[in-house]
Amino acid sequence: MTRKSDETTIAEQIVSILPAGVARQFSSERDTIRYAVRAEGLKLRTIVLSRKSLRKLAEDPAAAVKIEYLQRDLLATAEQRCEFRYPRPVVHPAVKITLTLPKLAHA
């Protein structure tokens, strides 16, 4: 079983790709680790990392590669979005609902 320090260490590794002093941990909740981001030229303001996902990542044999991918994704996201989440929320495509009404008998 992974310790909380492992989760924090991985979170710090992911966030370390940003310039020094830009991101600081402002909330360590039961389910997430949150960082506040303040920097000129960056749209990014919040980083939210799931503890459960960080634990899975810590036990993954390919963790180093996945952390590097997350760092690149965070860096690319920093100028485009206000929030970075790991894992990304699942967005389901819009479902088109077609209703068929029964035909009324004409009198």
Has residue 96 been placed in a domain? Answer: no
pLDDT in the model for residue 1: 46
Asked if 101 and 44 count as a contact pair (C-beta separation under 8 A), the reply is: no
What's the structural domain count of the chain? 1
pLDDT in the model for residue 21: 85
Has residue 93 been placed in a domain? Answer: no
Has residue 106 been placed in a domain? Answer: no
Which residue would you say has higher pLDDT here, 40 or 105?
40
**Structural domain that includes position 47:** 4-86
Has residue 98 been placed in a domain? Answer: no
Kind plus residue range of the DSSP H or E element containing 47: strand 46-50
Encode pLDDT of 14-65 as tens digits.
Answer: 999 999 888 988 877 789 999 999 988 899 999 999 999 999 999 999 999 9
Asked if 86 and 52 count as a contact pair (C-beta separation under 8 A), the reply is: no
